[in-house]
Structure 1
Amino acid sequence: MRDRITDPWGDRTPYSPGGAWPVRVDEHTIETPDHWVRSASLLHSNGDAIDIGVRDGRIVGVRGRAGDRVNHGRLDPKDVYGWRAGAHPDRLTRPLVRVDGELTPTTWDDAMRRVVGASRARTPEQTGFYTSGQLFLEEYYTLAVIAKAGIGTPHLDGNTRLCTATSAAALKASFGTDGQPGSYTDVDHCDAIALWGHNVAETQTVLWMRMLDRRHGTNPPAMLAVDPRRTPVAREADVHLPIRPGTNLALMNGLLRLVIDHGWTDEAYLAAHTVGFEELAKVVDAYPVRRVAEICDLRPADIERAGELVGTAGRLLSTVLQGFYQSHQATASAVAVNDLHLLRGMIGRPGAGVLQMNGQPTAQNTRETGADGDLPGFRNRANPAHVRDLAALWNVDEATIPHDTDPTPAMTIWELAGKGAITFLWISGTNPAVSLPDLARVRRTLARPDLFVVVQDIFRTETAEFADVVLPAATWGEKTGTFTNADRTVHLSEKAVDPPGEARPDLDIFLDYAARRDFRDRDGSPLISWTDPPSAYAAWQRCSAGRPCDYTTIGYDDLRGESGVQWGGERLYTGGVFNTGTGYCETYGHDLVTGAPRTAGEHRAQHPDGRAFLLATPYEPAPEEPSADYPLRLITGRTLSQFHTRTKTGRVRELNAAAPHVWVEVSQADATEYALADGSVALIESARGAVEAPVRIRDIRPGTVFLPFHFARQAANELTLTTWDPVSKQPMFKLAAIRLRRQP
């Protein structure tokens, strides 16, 4: 196999619409394995099936699984090389506790005694959990039961709030519950692909391979890319809209108006399967092309071309990611993509679907299990019947389960910790000292003497340096569990090797904590009766039974076959019946402008009866606009060879060499304005902080600057703001006003 750093997508295997994506097995080993163990990708959200090569108790390589529905044998560059992080000498191998201001090795018993003692001393309202999008389903579910039924705290969320919360919010708003309507196999059938703020070439590389292979075959699908940067996706696209950051909703309203005005709607589908068309048409009528062009700083002719592409395609596939999710009016913009598909009847059939993508490999599981604060199984906390059902399942009093108000989102958890209202914070599998916005504020919070911080991770991260207790965790390949990707495909990752030293699987750590706290149900039996991954998974199956994400027919043995298995089947809503019944839905909806929740009565009054909601929202200017002091707009994002804060990928030679340090991308016009050249160092300042970075002059819209967020030194999040979307509560990482200065 060729070097996957310089050739990230590999050879093309073209195919025609309706055909099977050809198999191409990628393999990278450093020694010949003596056996292979099944798993899937853990450094992006695509869900590539991977076999782990093992020799003499060590991981020595990986290969793609030819028979898997997701990747047909292909591997992402992070799949190919990222496994080496697990054997890095920096791994945490013993618990650490703070003694006289220093982190000192100790025993597990001492570390857990301190954790339990500190948590017992706090009330539920003083207790918070901040988790990841990279643990396993069994671990999330156990944590959710501990938090909701053991402690009874509403303060449980994950870093998925930073990347995938808008996906869930948009799906619930339009279709009644979470769960992706589409499937990766829609790439095989579609006539057009629209990528809304989604640089799939670098974030879900194997999915991009699939799209490229269709584009190289006969009758290729047309392609639209909406992105301020000329990314590899934008270069491939037939239409590229280099939109002004913060104006996505204006664009979507304009495209919806074009679809309506040109008669490109499916009238029969709208009448039978949706509610709200009249109000939507009224709102979008205020967005003619010329007004949209002015707001978005786009050429009217390009907007017209984009409208024709999405309005006339016989089978349209849309994917949405951070360019929409981390920007202004995020939920409303993502919902507008759903609106487009509903207007055209492009839901539930091959090639016609929506993928509101995830940013992390197990983000879907946080939402399913309730580790993002929601109730497990896509239950509705405002529905008394759903709360009773969950209380009966767990055999606890209904009042124990926090449900009277919305759960506390991550940004509010950190706000409460910063004010001293939360004084115990358990952080598992994430590095908020680099990944959260406005990092100076985060550091002040973590350093509070009244905040007891537990960090559970595989390396001594920037966040761990603030901890009172550090718990060494096992990682991918060192434990067993399941995880679910963005098109609902469930994979089983089986233990291949032992974790180093005294590191333990996250599930074992949570189970140990639960046993030491001695959580009991109302009959006096242990609240958590499971003891290992299979029994934890069986408990989850009981919880998911009868809900949209029903896992009861997907057992471990089913997942030991050649392919992962989708819950819900190939596509959701194939008959045009949605999960919007008032007694079944996950939410009664929200005002997309203010975030105010709707009541059951308001929901019922719309008579959804299994029909999807068309929801339109007027565009409003962003909360932070460029000014005389800060005349430019900063957007942050990912790069192909790195993942999150580089705790893993930064320790892999090949991946680190591909992107060892931060850089800043500016347009040629801005480079001229600020006397910058390729390789010169620029100071990037916002009202919150400053970063220095070498300059790369690239094809990016003038007035917009790009920083990758992965790098702890000169972190992009020194600059970003703490403002978030009113519905999804996802931070607006792509809106900071900044200025540039050339450094000597």
Structure 2
Amino acid sequence: MNRVENIWGVRTPHERGTEWPERVDQELAVAEAEVDRWVQSACVLCSNGCACDIAVKDGKMVGVRGRAGDRINHGRLGPKGLYASWQWSDQDRLTHPLVRTSEGLRQATWDEAMGRIVEESKKRHPLKQGFYTSGQLFLEEYYTLAVIGKAGLGTPHMDGNTRLCTATAAAALKETFGSDGQPGSYEDIEHCDALFLFGHNMAATQTVLWSRVLDRVEGPDAPVIVAVDPRDTPVTRLADVHLAPLPGSNQALMNGLIHELIEHGYVDHDYVARHTIGYDELAATVASYEPKQVAEICGVNAVDVQHAAEIFGRSERVLSTVLQGFYQSHQATAASCQVNNLHLLRGLIGKPGCGVLQMNGQPTAENTRECGADGDLPGFRNWANPQHIDELAKLWNVDRLKIPHWAPPTHAMQLWRYVDQGSIDFLWISATNPAVSLPELPRIRDILSREDLFLVVQDGFLTETAQYADVVLPAALWGEKQGTFTNASRTVHLSEQAVDPPGEARSDLDIFLDYARRMDFRDADGEPLIGWTTPEEAFEAWKECTRGRPCDYSGLTYDALRGASGIPWPCTDDAPEGTDRLYEDSVFPTEPETCEDYGHDLLTGGSTTPEKYKALNPGGRAFLKAMPFTEPPEWISSAYPLIATTGRSPYHFHTRTKTGRSPQLKQAEPKVWVELSAADAAELGVAEGNQVRVESARGWMEGAARIGGARPGVVFVPFHFGYWDATEGAPPSAANEFTLTEWDPVSKQPIYKVVAVRVRKA
């Protein structure tokens, strides 16, 4: 089957409460009989983490097939997994280190490249050095990097591009439940009566998960679907209720839904009294958000708001998913917390069919957060809790003062500001392409071009970002190294090495270990700080770091992960097969001694002090966070009369370093496009396929117009497209040419969804 044309494959309908049927998807460049061996792995081209086997012939990857017994995909793979997970493997790869000279980048030895990095690192204070990583490495690599940064160098300047896509998921879970970690399970799709998708175009971002929904919809007892999205998508077209709020108005809509739950008596007051804190403040905050007012703010139908609230209030089993439509806005954490609130108000959590999935945008974003490579402390520890600092100091055998904990960790947007100011002049970027993915690209290019910045880029390809580097390190990619990763539903998979990396490319783990050895990082006894040399040894060390924490891996082993399916944490001696859902007992990790964070003011982002938090006496209860609607920092004007929002396509992943090298996917979507409503296109005199220019106060890009899809007043542009495959002299094609450098006050996630622009024919 052509999975470009039929993205979600054939249907396997089934009844509510029954297991999702298996369907094995496969794509091979050779006949199946010619495959030498199949190697266990899981796809890393979205946050779903679908289990698969890699086909190997003559030492090369020649295809993939889904793993039928896996709990995540039951054998299915999406277009990216089928076509792009392996086709890039022998295309224009980095095979040797590169160093910059007056004439540009030239080939170098590993000794020369690493020697230069270590020389520059040693002559700088730790606070002058920063690390910007990804959501696409393996767990073992993140943990190693976190130990290097926190216990080796002692720098707080560590974050990743997960700040762009999943920071709000973590923030909302911490604010409500006290700790990161998805409460729900993908299996809740099989049990739910109603499915709410808040800012989540699942049909594009997680195609296999959407197949799972489609199979419920086409079977008996189909769930009612409510979609919140300003665009017309396959999700909204299937929905029973489509709420299309103006970008930037999510918080008003959520307050309206909660108002309706309270107004019409849908609240389980006994559950709320026993298991939550903050109901009175929440009720007072939403009291004025009647459907009519919400309709005026959001540009939606008041009857639809009432209908959606009634569905949530009357359904016995509700599953909610949340993604970038909520996360990449100015009240991101506040709006996402309201989704949590809806479930807590009805007591719909920790039971089959009842739960929240605050989704990730990347395949290993969960590991970035767990391991501390995003700036947090490993094992979901609280940087403001002295006991948690002592635990890490003992685990790593270092002085507790070495571990940065005197202030909140540096988030990515602040990290880049420090580089811009010159406060950080050593920056190590691994497995990400900020020259395309960060907001306000003219500014980012200026930062990357700073003469006083020593820039290290570690990647498999010479990306737009790598071309600015002083040292480029060739990294092994998926299938070329071993390691584990955890998907958006806490499920851990093992990815075995299938083939050798090209040339002299090394795994990210080996590169980090080499750096630690050359820097001679030592513990308090004078022994090497990093005591492991292999992925499995790193995994064993990580297990000890998580023991007793919410993300407990202590019961997992590589051998256990070599079974038919991935395993969800927490996995312990008491739960050797993992844990499907969190909070089945409605006891939440909010105790001051346990919690990952003491919370924030959702308006200002100001941190709650430990003393104030303890005075709340949470006692294992969840927090019902309240926040009124506020206007976004940028809005329409006579000069910029439209609101632009950026997003994703089902055919491409991030900046297309892999998917753009797949013939099928590149043919499906070779170039960027600009989506306009029919009304706006008519007013602008734009027809389908016309080249149009999108301009903001910061920059501009061009693409072919697609008419329909967006609501009036809204422009949509996919963010995947950069310069690496553009023709000489072509106009800019990156959506982030026009986005702005603003972020949510709590999660610090950039605002990609609310940008004032104007559009005209190019």
Aligned length: 742
The residue aligned with 1:366 is 368
Partners in 1 of 2:364 and 2:323 — Cα distance? 15
SS at 1:84 equivalent:
coil
Partners in 1 of 2:28 and 2:544 — Cα distance? 40
Deviation at 1:294, TM superposition (A): 0.3
The 8 Å contact of residues 128 and 424 in structure 2, kept in 1 or not, is answered as yes
SS at 1:60 equivalent:
strand
Superposed counterparts of 1:117-128, under 5 Å: 117-128=119-130
Deviation at 1:83, TM superposition (A): 2.7
Partners in 2 of 1:700 and 1:311 — Cα distance? 29
Partners in 1 of 2:16 and 2:702 — Cα distance? 47
Return 5+ residue gaps in structure 2 as ranges. 571-578, 724-732
The residue aligned with 1:13 is 12
SS at 2:85 equivalent:
helix
1:684 matched to 2:694:
yes
Q: CA-to-partner distance for each residue in 1:687-720, whole Å, 9 max, x for gaps? A: 0001111100013110100000000041000000
Partners in 1 of 2:72 and 2:738 — Cα distance? 37
The residue aligned with 1:475 is 477
The 8 Å contact of residues 88 and 661 in structure 2, kept in 1 or not, is answered as no
The residue aligned with 1:514 is 516
SS at 1:695 equivalent:
strand
Deviation at 1:271, TM superposition (A): 1.3
| Code of the aligned partner of 1:579 | P
Q: CA-to-partner distance for each residue in 1:70-104, whole Å, 9 max, x for gaps? A: 00000011110113344233100000000114000
Superposed counterparts of 1:152-301, under 5 Å: 152-301=154-303
The residue aligned with 1:526 is 528
Q: CA-to-partner distance for each residue in 1:380-403, whole Å, 9 max, x for gaps? A: 010000000110000111110001
The residue aligned with 1:737 is 756
Superposed counterparts of 1:554-633, under 5 Å: 554-568=556-570, 569-633=579-643
**What is the alpha-carbon root mean square deviation over aligned residues?**
0.7
Partners in 2 of 1:147 and 1:101 — Cα distance? 32
Query: Taking structure 2 as the reference length, what is the TM-score of the superposition?
Result: 0.97
SS at 1:317 equivalent:
strand
1:668 matched to 2:678:
yes
1:458 matched to 2:460:
yes
1:131 matched to 2:150:
no
The residue aligned with 2:28 is 29
Partners in 1 of 2:329 and 2:236 — Cα distance? 19
Partners in 2 of 1:699 and 1:644 — Cα distance? 21
SS at 1:88 equivalent:
coil
Q: CA-to-partner distance for each residue in 1:577-626, whole Å, 9 max, x for gaps? A: 00000110000100000000001111111121000000110100000001
The residue aligned with 2:728 is none
The residue aligned with 1:702 is 712
Deviation above 2 Å: which 4+ runs of structure 1? 83-89
Partners in 1 of 2:4 and 2:257 — Cα distance? 37
Aligned counterpart for 2:312 among listed residues 305, 310, 313: 310
The residue aligned with 2:445 is 443
The residue aligned with 1:55 is 57
Deviation at 1:131, TM superposition (A): 0.1
Partners in 2 of 1:646 and 1:470 — Cα distance? 19
The 8 Å contact of residues 247 and 328 in structure 1, kept in 2 or not, is answered as no
| Code of the aligned partner of 2:482 | T
| Code of the aligned partner of 1:601 | E
SS at 1:38 equivalent:
strand
Partners in 1 of 2:498 and 2:90 — Cα distance? 17
Q: CA-to-partner distance for each residue in 1:254-285, whole Å, 9 max, x for gaps? A: 00010011111112211111111111000010
The residue aligned with 2:90 is 88
| Code of the aligned partner of 2:668 | A
1:74 matched to 2:76:
yes
Q: CA-to-partner distance for each residue in 1:465-497, whole Å, 9 max, x for gaps? A: 100000000000000000000110000000000
Partners in 2 of 1:681 and 1:89 — Cα distance? 30
1:536 matched to 2:538:
yes
Partners in 2 of 1:385 and 1:432 — Cα distance? 36
The 8 Å contact of residues 378 and 586 in structure 1, kept in 2 or not, is answered as yes
Partners in 1 of 2:125 and 2:648 — Cα distance? 38
SS at 1:39 equivalent:
strand
1:648 matched to 2:658:
yes
The 8 Å contact of residues 91 and 661 in structure 2, kept in 1 or not, is answered as no
Partners in 2 of 1:276 and 1:246 — Cα distance? 25
| Code of the aligned partner of 1:302 | D
Partners in 2 of 1:654 and 1:107 — Cα distance? 36
The 8 Å contact of residues 196 and 323 in structure 1, kept in 2 or not, is answered as yes
| Code of the aligned partner of 2:618 | P
SS at 2:27 equivalent:
strand
Aligned counterpart for 1:381 among listed residues 380, 383, 388: 383
| Code of the aligned partner of 1:487 | S
SS at 1:522 equivalent:
coil
Deviation at 1:541, TM superposition (A): 0.5
| Code of the aligned partner of 1:723 | E
Deviation at 1:457, TM superposition (A): 0.1
Return 5+ residue gaps in structure 1 as ranges. none
The 8 Å contact of residues 40 and 47 in structure 1, kept in 2 or not, is answered as yes
Tell me the percent identity.
61
Partners in 2 of 1:549 and 1:103 — Cα distance? 42
SS at 1:366 equivalent:
helix
SS at 2:321 equivalent:
strand
